[in-house]
Structure 1
């Protein structure tokens, strides 16, 4: 029986199927009897407005119809539940327990679903490649200093490999992740990145991977460009975009400094934002120019002048919030500014001046404290030449988005190429500018 592939992230907010049931059993405060385990199974079946029964039934059927030996099934089940529920202690074995689940949740084809659930296409996966990659990750964790040598984890790697080969690699991956979390095995950043790639390819909801996973993160480093989207001062400014705010500025700032992406070392967002603030504070860029670029990048959403602040006063408040957060999540981190990419300054300026004619007739905040496009462009140019070409480039991208400047495909590709040279993430430019591209 082949698994019916789905874009699981469109259905669930976290884990699902047998691995989700194992998580609930592991989280129980003590041993669980069979009726209690069936109640937890009903909770899992109810996920996704009742669609959880489909994945639960499929997982169960895949194991029952496979050639996985009973002892391997018991080894995996005891490990992923942390020994909280062993069917052998309740008058049956794992296969018998799975048969009871199969009676309640028979494998079936998913019924018609609301349109918004089908916006994401089902993943297309080469099963042989998937099995090979999942087995490689199982072996990588098995090599981590005897991670799976003590009961109830003894023998787990081989049993998981059997499930990957005889039943389903997708299920084996989720059970492996559950075992890693139950055993509190620490994974390194390279392995986390590989797991994240698998997670994305299988269209899992993100929390399935990173919730409760212990990662051995590298030290905070503002020079490491591992954010997929925008970051630093421009990312903060985008949070303030719009004519009004639902929250006070301090709370928006606190959320921004803590907004590390799933694959980033805790504190990375704050370090990147702090570096942008320090570059401007320590530069010769005039305070009024800083006020101008902030007003443009934030679409006048938070008018610091009306709040009685100038550009440098606001940046000092931003820097203080970054330091407060870093003291909590990365207390050993000592803030520093990395060398700027000065060799790219002229390239950024060329792109900026090329867009100047389109900026001439556009204004940020036309009804209150208007900022003409050319004035903002001059301010951005000073950031490029006197502070940091990287920050200046991000401000340029932000300005194009704020003023909705139409882009030819050629210019858009050029901007994306420049972002790649700076080492920016996949989604930075596309999220900001793709909607502005004129397709012939």
Structure 2
């Protein structure tokens, strides 16, 4: 398998190459294929393999839902592939970057994953075996599963995996959540955009549950506060609707609205005073949106958030009936210890000090009430948001404890790491 010069996700925001061509409207005729140079690469992979024409034809017809036969109208499968190969010849080698020798110390590019061909090939073959019975039932053409196996072995795991995904989508084969998650993980070493797996795949999603933690990122009211902290574009309602619809690719559709609704419902029904709720929202949101400037108080603001969430849920999960998620009361003391440990340093700072800011001491008191009287999970997420708004420096020891606590709450890898820019070096 020839590794592309740059990650696929840089060039493509969905499926691509021959598998992407099979999924697009059209008849598979020769170019252009929307400027997709990978079609030429995939064609050469098949031409250089020992796959017989009929095997390649079967794979294409299954992926394309039989709309276009590459062996029709006086063509052969290989002449069709040669046409694509000629239309998109191999690209010229790229010149090394000028600062390549400094990349290890200066580059902000994430390291590219190591691809071990045998391991990745075996992983794709295992996924084909796992869905073999479903494919045999769903695909009207005989021999597609053996053809997929041969494509993986002889034309490369990359193309074979994309063809597997395209055939599953073309034949409406449903996969369970665990298999879908494995597909996403398998796409990571290939450096796919998530749409290669996600878009068009039928998934048996688990029921909506605000207690599930399938997202890698922040969620709920703390995530909404982050959006308003950096609020530059769109109206208030546009930001609200965008947040309510911001499901992670690993989440059941409607999850973003469900967890946000759970957070605001708890706060609205809590014994916290209006002043405390106002302090909490302004501190977590870095004073980016102040409801009173729009003629509403904080409880009306929470009601508006809830209304938008219910609108979203009526569209995506009309049968869903919200029920409060269990409160992690067992972690309250641990969150309070971390908050109390940092409170003296928070008192010396102010959220937006050059404006009508929120004193750090007031923010700490509001957070303590959320943790002890409402929900430690919500309180901890808002605590992290307030640390960002206060530009609070953190020791590596504290940050390690915050990460461990986030793991106990079941958070994804990027929720606590949002504050890692304030971790001080031991040097």
User: Does the TM-score normalized on the shorter chain lie above 0.5?
Assistant: yes
Contact persistence 2:135–2:168 (CA under 8 A) = no
1:23-422 correspondence to structure 2 within 5 Å: 23-24=23-24, 27-28=25-26, 32=27, 37-39=29-31, 42-44=32-34, 46=35, 52-53=36-37, 55-108=38-91, 110-112=93-95, 119-144=109-134, 146-151=136-141, 154-242=142-230, 245-422=232-409
TM-score (norm 2): 0.93
CA drift of 1:85 comes to: 1.7
CA deviation map 1:411-430 (0-9, x unaligned): 11110110000001111011
Contact persistence 1:3–1:58 (CA under 8 A) = no
**In the alignment, what sits opposite 2:103?**
none
CA drift of 1:392 comes to: 0.4
CA deviation map 1:131-165 (0-9, x unaligned): 122122222333227444414xx321110111001
CA drift of 1:249 comes to: 1.2
CA drift of 1:406 comes to: 0.9
Aligned with 1:88: secondary structure?
Answer: coil
TM-score (norm 1): 0.90
**In the alignment, what sits opposite 1:22?**
22
Aligned with 2:30: secondary structure?
Answer: helix
CA deviation map 1:266-321 (0-9, x unaligned): 11000100110111122222222111110111111110122232222211111111
1:438 aligns with 2:419: no
Distance 1:15 1:290, change over 3 A: same
- How big is the alpha-carbon RMSD for the aligned residues of Structure 1 and Structure 2? 2.1
Contact persistence 2:349–2:390 (CA under 8 A) = yes
Please identify, of 210-219 and 56-65, the stretch whose mean Cα deviation from structure 2 is larger: 56-65
Aligned with 1:223: secondary structure?
Answer: coil
Structure 1 residue ranges without an equivalent (≥5): 47-51
Separation in 2 of the partners of 1:17 and 1:258?
Answer: 30
Structure 2 residue ranges without an equivalent (≥5): 100-106
* Number of equivalences: 419
Aligned with 1:90: secondary structure?
Answer: coil
Please identify, of 3-12 and 89-98, the stretch whose mean Cα deviation from structure 2 is larger: 3-12
Separation in 2 of the partners of 1:261 and 1:114?
Answer: 34
Contact persistence 2:286–2:386 (CA under 8 A) = no
**In the alignment, what sits opposite 1:49?**
none
